[in-house]
Structure 1
Amino acid sequence: MVELRTLAYFVTTCRAGSFARAADELDIAVSTLSTTLKELGQDLGVTLFRRSNNTLYPTAAGRALMRAAEPMMIAESFSRRHVTAPSEARLKHLVVDVNLSFTIGGISKALRIAIDRMAGERPDVFVDPHWKDEKDQPHLSPLADDWSGLDRFHLAIGLGEASQRRLKHDTVLLSDPWVFAFRLPSGTPTPPGAAELTAGRIVVPMLAPPLIEQADRYFSRHRVTGVRFLNDHPGDLPRTIDDYPDAAVFVPKSLISARLGLSNVAMVAPKHPLTMDVIARAARPNAVINLFARHLKRTLKGDHVARAERPLVSLRQIHYFNLIHRVRRISAAARGANISQPALSEQLRKLETSLGGALFERNDDGVVPTAKGDRFARFATLIEAGFRRLSASDAGTARLQSRRVVVGILPSVNQHGFLVNRITDAIVEIQVRYPSLKLVFQEAPNGTLQDWVIRGLVGVAIVETTLPHMPRLALGSSEGLAAIVHASHRLLPPGPVRLADLVQLRLVLPTNRFGLRQLLENAVTERGLKLEPLMEIDALPMAVSLLARLPVCTVLPPSALAREIDSGDLTAHPIIDPPIARRLYMIYSGERTLSEPERGLVNALRRKLSEQRAASQST
């Protein structure tokens, strides 16, 4: 069983600047910390840290684990205060909806500190943060929605530009300035200035839409060029900085907090300042909401150090307590836990010592919860439920990879085409494997797809020609091109057509932006021929529609029009002397690695294409 203490080690390490600093805060040896976290990753079956530029930083699975672990840390810490508080205090539940990305940055750290301060001052108020922008994961807070006998309040934290009008009850928590961030060797006397950085290369990670829009307007207003918007999650900022060593990363300053992976990162303010406000908004403010907002605002203003997580209660003790509370007999609970009764009683005694009093009254026929026991039971049940969700295969660890994949695809003639159907089959398979993954598909010809990949507008793209200086993965698909004509015009005799004869026909072809046209041009040039199409139409459905109206010919893979060819409306004449084959590739930027869902899509598409090829060969 993964213990709360192990999760506390992990959370503390993520917020520290290094393993050595985390070990010092936890008062343990670095080797002990390293071994413990390695075993944690093995127990959960995930990689928690990656190495970059001689530093470690949390992976996407690591961030997911931290988001899952923190609510349990908060609940454990709060439960100890709540159990020892005056019995007449009525429990209050403050839900804080955070409409930002979870990055282990300054805002998430300030939230944790403010929650601790709030719990110390108001042990009757349980603060429960929900990271609403992380839609790829379920909310892993152990707090259930069906609690009775408590007051519930809501506070929303979001973004707003300084120029926007504020609602009556809005509170500006932080005016967050944008900065240029980059790795700088220690001992560098003078960092580069803003003008030098602006003249060079600039990258922006996948921030929240209001931030992207604000940055885009800023660059346009000040005529800053050479900016690339990435699909990289802002939580991967250490990797992004190292992946683009010749660029400055443009982000709000709160993201560059002192934490694992961000050592030796310099920040330079732009020449023209830019600020985004972090706002707290409540529909019905009250004393509880206002007090927490004040704590959070004060924390965000200062560079406070988050304390090391030190849970006093173990998950094992919580599990035993829940068994006893449910069956009301120590002996029955011991049998259910498969341990001896004295061992269970000893663990209960230690738990009661940690919580400062008896949790059960012992009677001859069983046990009855005390007032402390009933108050702790609410949190014990929730913490154990959170652990079960964390341990489940879909709890957001190994399967939580990139939350969004943008794919560029070639234009299709219609929905019945071979390629569009194979892509659709692959999409269905990937969506089943990653149900929370958001897939975005954008259609464009080869040249545009290449440009989109280079600019980072799409992560991967399916193209039909090899492109220079572009990493590519062959999809294992090869199909000969054919002259396509309408049967009613009888332009060609049955059978194949020589390339030399094809160029004499009245051709309707796409422009050179299409890989298919490039293949034709290359073949024609090699044979010393000349290609002069009657019309150039990039809208492929329109080009096919013209075949019935005019005695013209187009060139396509026959599989794109299989249904029309099978019905006899269109005829396909394979091009020979020489044959021209279309091969499909998946291209991506050499400046990053493919995510697991992207690789899964490539493999699924290869499999679907090979299945179709095998079926064709068998017939």
Structure 2
Amino acid sequence: MVELRTLAYFVTACRSGSFTQAAADLGIAVSTLSTTMKALEREVGLSLFRRINNNLYPTDSARALIRGADPLLMAELFARRWVAAPAKATLRRLTVETGLSFTIGGLSKALRHAVDRMGVERPDVFVDPLWADEKDIPHLGGMAEEWGDGKSSRITLALGDESPRASKRATTLLSDRWVFACRMPAGTPHYPKAADLAAGRLVVPLLSPPLIEQAERYFSQHRISGVRYLGDHPGDLPRIMDDYPDAALFVPETLVSPRLGLLNVVAVVPEKPLTTKIVARAAEPDAVTALFVRHLQRALTETKPSRAERPVVSLRQIRYFNLVQRLRRVSAAARGANISQPALSEQIHKLEVSLGGALFERHGDGMIPTDKGERFDRIARLIEARYRQLSTGDAGAAAAQSRRIALGILPSVNQHGFLVNRITEAMLDVQARHPALKLVIREAPNGTLQDWVIRGLVGVAIVETVLPQMPRLPLGSSERLAAIVHTRHSMLPPGPVTLADLARLQLALPTNRFGLRQLLDGAAEQHDIRLRPYMEIDALPMAVAILARLPVCTVLPASAVEREIAAGDLAAHPIIEPTISRRLFVIYSGERTLSESERGLVNSLRRKLSEPAKRADALF
């Protein structure tokens, strides 16, 4: 069980400028925070942080996890305040529905500040944030209706509508300026001019359609061209900045508020300003909705840093309390929790001390909840239900990445090649066992795949050679390389060819970005043979197509062109003296563990690729 304190460390780290700052705010050593975060990654089986160019930033999985963890921490704080509230207070619920994309910082940070201030003034109001634009975490709205005796209110946060009628019904929270955002070294005395940034390369992340339309109108009006629209979530700004270091991002300013991964980022306001209104609409305006809107307006205009999260109650204590509340006997609850009765009683006592009073009356025939216990029960059930939602693979934010595999694969000559077909079969196999799984496939040469894994652009990649410091899993596939020629040119007699003979032919080879070329060059260097390619072609289908037109030779595993060999168009001559074999590996980042679906894919690939050696021998 991931405890609330661990989640609090995680949320504080993400919202701080650095681990050092977060550790100082939490009052712990940086090493303690780092160790705790690594343990959290192992617990949830996800990579939560990436490091590029000495810059640490949260991954998309971290963004999903914080969105699920934040309501838990808010509910724990509310539970303590609610239990201590006057006995005559009636529980109220305020749902704040946000129709914008979730990012760490900006609006989400302001929302948390407003919830905290609301709790101080109105400990009877449970503020329940709902990010309606994010679909991967179902909302437990029905839980609040079970409370029964409380009144519910709803506020909707959205982009402003320009129509006069809509404006009358809405309260403007913020006029969010658009800015050019880019990284600058610390201590830079003069920032770039807006005109220079506008004239250079610009990129826009995957904002909501109204924002994209607003940006497009702005570019058209001011004759700004060459803008690239990305498919990357706006919460991934740190990674986008590293992917496009020569570009400036054009985004609303709230997206670049300081937090982990966005240090040394400057925001330059365009010479011709552009603003987006963020508004609040209350379904039935009253004193509670008006008070919250005022707190949120204030929080959005402040630059106050996020406070350190400090939960007092543990999830384990909440679970034990819910068991006792339901079963009314400590002995039965202890059996249900699979712990000793004294251990459970001790945790209930610690919970009562934290909440400032008894939660149960002890009787000979069982436990009866006190008024405080009845109050705590309403929130305790909500917290445990939301934790189950967070931790399960079906709906949990922490399982967001385990429901998605971003796989990097090597380029293939055509769709009939052995490797591409076996990868396809393995993916379909995993998809059948995980119907909700989303597969993202990206093709690139060996060296690029390694870089993508390091940078977190793909989770796992199938490669031919690997960096020595990277974790790798052998796929059990080993296939000899062969000289591939077209039969019409009669370049080679039947049978094998030595590497020295190969060096005397006109070769069409890929560049050294490809693992296959690295294998060839390594073997040639070891045997004091120099390969001088007649042409270098990184497009493998083109390299094969040119064999029919020119008397040149390329090098591939024979299975890559087995149909062409079977048809008699191409011939494969195994390379000997030395024999050069391609071995396939799956690589992944050493900063995380593989998810269950990724492990399933690796096992399926091993099964599917177990026969290439037999098939390849039949092709020669």
TM-score when scaled to structure 2?
0.69
Shift of 1:51: 0.9
1:336 paired residue number: 336
Conservation of the 8 A alpha-carbon contact between 2:61 and 2:398:
yes
Residue in 1 that maps onto 2:229: 229
Q: Quickly say closer, same or farther: Cα 1:122–1:260, change in 2 above 3 A.
A: same
When residues 55 and 498 of structure 1 are mapped into structure 2, their CA distance, relative to the original with a 3 A threshold, is closer
SS at match of 2:311: coil
- 1:396 partner amino acid: A
Q: Which residue in 1 is equivalent to 2:191?
A: 191
C-alpha contact (below 8 Å) 2:393/2:402 kept by paired residues: no
1:110 aligns with 110
Q: Give 1:139's aligned amino acid.
A: P
- Structure 1: stretches of 5+ with no match in the other structure: 408-419, 442-458, 460-496, 500-513, 528-556, 560-572, 578-595
Contact in 2 for aligned 1:71/1:141 (Cα 8 Å): no
Alignment of 1:15-26 (within 5 A): 15-26=15-26
1:129 aligns to what? 129
How far apart are 1:153 and its partner, in Å?
2.2
Distance 1:576 1:65, change over 3 A: closer
CA distance in 2 between partners of 1:268 and 1:344 (Å): 57
Worse-matched range after superposition: 517-526 or 266-275: 517-526
Counterpart residue identity of residue 56, structure 1: L
What is residue 304 of structure 2 aligned with on the other side? 304
- CA drift at 1:146: 4.7
Q: Which amino acid aligns with 1:144?
A: M
Which letter maps to 2:370?
T
Q: Which moved more, 1:331-340 or 1:284-293?
A: 331-340
Contact 1:90 1:124 survives alignment (8 Å): yes
Q: Matches of 2:217 and 2:277 in 1, distance apart?
A: 16
The amino acid across from 1:53 in the alignment is N
C-alpha separation in 2, matches of 1:153 and 1:307: 27
* TM-superposed deviation, 1:391: 2.6
Distance 1:276 1:601 in 2: 45
Q: Bigger shift: 188-197 or 232-241? A: 232-241
Amino acid of the residue matched to residue 253 of structure 2? Answer: K
**CA pair 433-94 structure 1, distance change in 2 beyond 3 A:** farther
Q: 2:176 & 2:10 partners in 1: Cα distance?
A: 28
2:218, 2:161 → 1: CA distance?
12
**Residue 139 (structure 1) aligned with residue 138 (structure 2):** yes
Q: Quote how far apart the aligned CAs of 1:321 are.
A: 0.9
* Residues 296-336 of structure 1: CA deviation (Å, up to 9, x unaligned): 11111221222211111111211211111111112322333
The aligned runs of 1:19-38 (5 Å cut-off) are 19-38=19-38
Change (3 A) 1:29 1:125: same
Once superposed, which parts of structure 1, at least 4 consecutive aligned residues long, lie more than 4 Å away?
A: 140-143, 161-165, 401-407, 420-441, 514-527, 573-577, 596-614
On the 8 A contact 2:430/2:601 being kept in 1, the answer is: no
Q: Where does 1:448-597 land on structure 2 (aligned, <5 Å)?
A: 523=548
After superposition, residues 158-197 of structure 1 pair within 5 angstroms as 158-160=158-160, 166-197=166-197
Cα distance between partner residues in 2 of 1:405 and 1:224: 34
Read off the aligned partner of 2:31 and give its amino acid letter.
Answer: S
State the distance in 1 between where 2:220 and 2:115 align.
Answer: 40
Question: Which residue of 2 is the match for residue 97 of structure 1?
Answer: 97
Note closer, same or farther for the CA distance 1:83–1:421 as it changes in structure 2 (3 Å cut). same
CA distance in 2, matches of 1:3, 1:520: 59
Alpha-carbon shift at residue 292 of structure 1 (Å): 1.3
CA offsets, 1:204-263, max 9 Å, x none? 112222222222222222221222111222222111112211111111110111111111
Measure, in 1, the Cα distance between the counterparts of 2:116 and 2:184. 34
Give the letter for the 2:97 counterpart.
D
Give 1:504's aligned residue. none
Query: 2: CA distance between counterparts of 1:303 and 1:121?
Result: 22
Q: Is the 8 A contact 2:67 2:397 kept in 1?
A: no
CA contact (8 A) 2:5 2:311 kept: yes
Equivalent-residue separation in structure 2 for 1:209 and 1:40 (angstroms): 35
Check 1:604–1:186 CA distance in 2 against 1; reply closer, same or farther (3 A cut).
Answer: same
1:288 to 1:406, Cα distance in 2 relative to 1, 3 A? farther
Distance 1:215 1:317 in 2: 50
Alignment correspondent of 1:396: 397
Name the SS of the counterpart of 1:168 in structure 2: helix
Aligned equivalents of 1:200, 1:401: Cα separation in 2: 38
Cα deviation, 1:109-129, whole Å, max 9, x if unaligned, reads: 000010111111112211111
Cα distance, 1:601 vs. partner? 14
Paired residues of 1:169 and 1:285 also in contact (CA < 8 A): no
Are the aligned partners of 2:9 and 2:33 in contact in 1 as well (CA < 8 Å)? yes
User: For each residue in 1:561-612, what CA deviation from the matched residue of structure 2 results, as whole angstroms up to 9, or x when unmatched?
Assistant: xxxxxxxxxxxx99799xxxxxxxxxxxxxxxxxx99999999999999899
Aligned AA (1:351) = L
Question: Is it true that 1:367 corresponds to 2:367 in the alignment?
Answer: yes
Provide the C-alpha distance between the structure 2 equivalents of 1:331 and 1:602, rounded to a whole number of angstroms. 44
SS at structure 2 position matched to 1:310? coil
Over residues 532-582 of structure 1, what are the superposed CA-to-partner deviations in whole Å (9 max), with x where a residue is unaligned?
xxxxxxxxxxxxxxxxxxxxxxxxx9x9xxxxxxxxxxxxx99799xxxxx
Contact 2:46–2:398, Cα closer than 8 Å, also in 1: yes
Query: Partner of 1:87: helix, strand, or coil?
Result: coil
| 2:5 match | 5
Quote the residue 2:327 is aligned against: 327
Cα distance in 2, alignment partners of residues 338 and 576 from structure 1: 67
Q: Secondary structure at the match of 2:228?
A: strand
Q: CA deviation at 1:422?
A: 10
Structure 1 residues 121, 197: closer, same or farther in 2, change over 3 A? same
CA shift, 1:203, in A, is: 1.3
Counterpart of 1:70 in structure 2 is 70
Counterpart for residue 262 of structure 1: 262
**Contact 1:78/1:126 (<8 A) preserved:** yes
**Deviation string for 1:386-440 (max 9, x for gaps)?**
2223332342325427989999xxxxxxxxxxxx999998886675577566789
Q: Answer whether contact 2:157 2:281 (CA < 8 A) is retained.
A: yes
Deviation at 1:164, TM superposition (A): 7.8
Moved more, 292-301 or 423-432: 423-432
Tell me the residue number matched to 2:288.
288
Distance 1:30 1:599, change over 3 A: closer
Change (3 A) 1:209 1:365: same
Tell me the secondary structure at the aligned position of residue 180 of structure 2: strand
**Root mean square deviation, CA, Å:** 5.3
Q: Structure 1 residues 227, 114: closer, same or farther in 2, change over 3 A? A: same
Q: Structure 1: how far apart are the matches of 2:78 and 2:438? A: 35
List alignment gaps of at least 5 residues for structure 2: 409-419, 442-457, 459-486, 490-538, 553-560, 572-593
Residues 100-149 of structure 1 show CA distances to partners (whole Å, capped at 9, x for unaligned) of: 111102100000010111111112211111112222x1236697255241
